[in-house]
Amino acid sequence: MARGAKFLLVEPKATTPYPPLGLMRISSMLKSEHPKCMVRWQVGCGLPDVAFRPERIYVTSLFTWDLDVVVRTVRFYRDKFPRAEVLVGGVAASLAPDFVAAQTGVSPHVGIFPRAEESPPDYEMTFGRSFTESLTSTTRGCPHHCSFCAVPRLEPAFAHRDGWDRDLRSGSTRIVLWDNNFLASPRLDADADTLRRLRKKVDFNQGLDARLFNKARSDLLRGVDVDPWRFAFDSVKIEPFLVKAISRAKRLSNREVRVYVLYNHLDTPEDLYYRLDRINRMKALAFPMEYRGPEPGRQKLPGPNWDTSLLRAFKLSLLYYYHRGMITESRESFLSIYGHNAQEFAEKLHSIYLYDKQLKRKKKDPE
Ligand code: B12
Ligand code: SF4
């Protein structure tokens, strides 16, 4: 590559609050490998300025349901700059590499990119977001293999990332950790210690594994300003662990407790009601997460025990009555929105669905 090489980093679609960390790392990697290079970012199809003619273009990807946009973007740059090398990688391309190759003629980079992994994020690459946090993770992979989760395919080896603190941004007061399973880390003692010494707010963004949040591990987090506490309640089987984890977290600090709740996988609506109710009774916030498969495509498929109308009604209930998709603590609101038992839950969802249908009909044919 010539001196003064030009690289373009492309995020096909920006739907998340943070920029693509993979491309931020690739930017630092390029800047250290090509000290005179120019690196620019772009969201969607376009150019940072008309005169910028990149020699190499890195297109990332995140969610598999947005792969159509990734394909369109790769084609756009391939046509616009036929002499440039167009590379594609990231989570969605790694989950559906054959689809991407067939649609674009570009074979994607699959899985993590070790040279980039060692590079700290380039915080100048904002991709249009305004944020002040440090983004990092102390580990990659996860020792578990939950059937609904893409992590075992994306990051099959569970490994510690030595030197993760090089990723911290100077002056930031909050660290967002994207560890899939922080508590399973073989270096948990040392990393919890580092977090305590840093004296910043820490968001274990992907949740702490309640099954591993025992007395010894929760003691390690004493003095770390965890904000908010996050756990997951993906199956009723982990209820005893979750109950203990929430009370341990509450003993450690009075920060908000949020619980991710998977639904539309192998669960039933009754099972979802049970878990939501349990969380609500523990005065924690439930953050429902609808399961969607790792296949390319926009179509939302109902799980074996769900149907499209129930799914829509549940989504609407979150939209109508709650803010940012989270079911807040108020017991009174919970009971009035979702009812006192699973049967009332199904009835309430059914009436929300019918009400929405009526509204749509009125919009279509106003009197
Ligand atoms: C961080 C994260 C988020 C962030 C968003 C990321 C952001 N930029 O803001 C937040 C918290 C908002 C989020 C939300 C959700 N997420 Co999420 N998230 C992740 C997570 C944990 C990490 C992704 C990441 O950034 N990793 C760090 C970077 C450094 O890694 P990377 O992107 O893979 O990049 C590396 C390589 O891929 C490569 N690379 C990347 N790009 C390129 C390009 C080229 C050219 C090359 C050569 C290499 C390359 O180099 C990098 C260095 O190694 C993944 C799980 C995982 N471990 O991957 C789930 C994941 C992507 N999320 C998932 C899901 C389901 C969701 C939600 C839909 C959950 C829900 N039901 O509400 C929501 C959706 C919200 C929305 N707005 O639509 C699923 C996606 C499944 C799918 N079918 O697509 C995943 C895979 C988790 C899982 N357990 O299955 N998520
Ligand atoms: S514990 Fe979490 S990260 Fe690990 S496989 Fe299960 S869902 Fe995925």
Question: What CATH number has the domain bearing residue 283?
Answer: 3.20.20
| β 38-43/6-11 pair status | parallel
Which structural domain range is residue 74 located in?
6-115
Distance of alpha carbon 266 from alpha carbon 234, whole angstroms: 10
Cα-to-centroid distance, 245 and ligand 2 (Å):
17
Note whether residue 41 is domain-resident.
Answer: yes
What number of CA atoms fall less than 13 Å from residue 230's CA on the CB side? 20
Cα-to-centroid distance, 150 and ligand 2 (Å):
8
Cα-to-centroid distance, 64 and ligand 1 (Å):
10
Looking up tokens 């273009």 gives: 57
**Is 136 close to ligand 1, i.e. is its CB under 6 Å away?**
no
Same domain, 27 and 111: yes
Note whether residue 246 is domain-resident.
Answer: yes
Q: Which of 81, 115, 149 marks a domain boundary?
A: 115
**Is 108 close to ligand 1, i.e. is its CB under 6 Å away?**
no
Sheet bearing 85-88, strands edge to edge: 38-43, 6-11, 56-59, 85-88
Closest CA to 110 of 73, 55, 153: 153
Note whether residue 70 is domain-resident.
Answer: yes
Closest CA to 209 of 259, 156, 171: 259
In the chain, how many domains are there?
A: 2
Cβ proximity of 23 and 12 under 8 Å: no
Cβ proximity of 274 and 248 under 8 Å: no
What does each of the 367 residues of the chain score in pLDDT, given as a tens digit?
Answer: 666 899 999 999 999 999 999 999 999 999 999 999 999 999 999 998 989 999 999 999 999 999 999 999 999 999 999 999 999 999 999 999 999 999 999 999 999 999 999 999 999 999 999 999 999 999 999 999 999 999 999 999 999 999 999 999 999 999 999 999 999 999 999 999 999 999 999 999 999 999 999 999 999 999 999 999 999 999 999 999 999 999 999 999 999 999 999 999 999 999 999 999 999 999 999 999 999 999 998 888 899 999 999 999 999 999 999 999 999 999 999 999 999 999 999 999 999 999 999 988 887 776 6
Same domain, 137 and 70: no
Cα-to-centroid distance, 322 and ligand 1 (Å):
25
Same domain, 258 and 352: yes
Distance of alpha carbon 351 from alpha carbon 103, whole angstroms: 42
Same domain, 106 and 133: no
* The two structure tokens encoding residue 50: 């008309």
Same domain, 324 and 183: yes
Distance of alpha carbon 226 from alpha carbon 310, whole angstroms: 35
Task: Out of 149, 208, 237, give the residue to mutate to test ligand 2, the one with the largest number of ligand atoms within 8 Å of its CB.
Answer: 149
Cα-to-centroid distance, 119 and ligand 2 (Å):
25
Residues 6+ apart with CB under 8 A from 188: 182, 217, 220
Note whether residue 299 is domain-resident.
Answer: yes
**Is 156 close to ligand 2, i.e. is its CB under 6 Å away?**
no
Looking up tokens 């002499």 gives: 83
Same domain, 82 and 165: no
**CATH number of the domain that residue 68 is part of:** 3.40.50.280
| β 159-160/257-263 pair status | unpaired
**Distances from the Cα of 168 to the Cαs of 15, 155, 157, in angstroms?**
24, 22, 24
- 108 cis-preceded (ω within 30 degrees of 0): no
pLDDT given at position 2: 64
Q: Which of 100, 115, 130 marks a domain boundary?
A: 115
Q: Which of 115, 131, 147 marks a domain boundary?
A: 115
pLDDT given at position 86: 98
Q: Indicate left, alpha or beta for 222 from its phi (over 0: left) and psi (-120 to 50: alpha).
A: beta
Note whether residue 45 is domain-resident.
Answer: yes
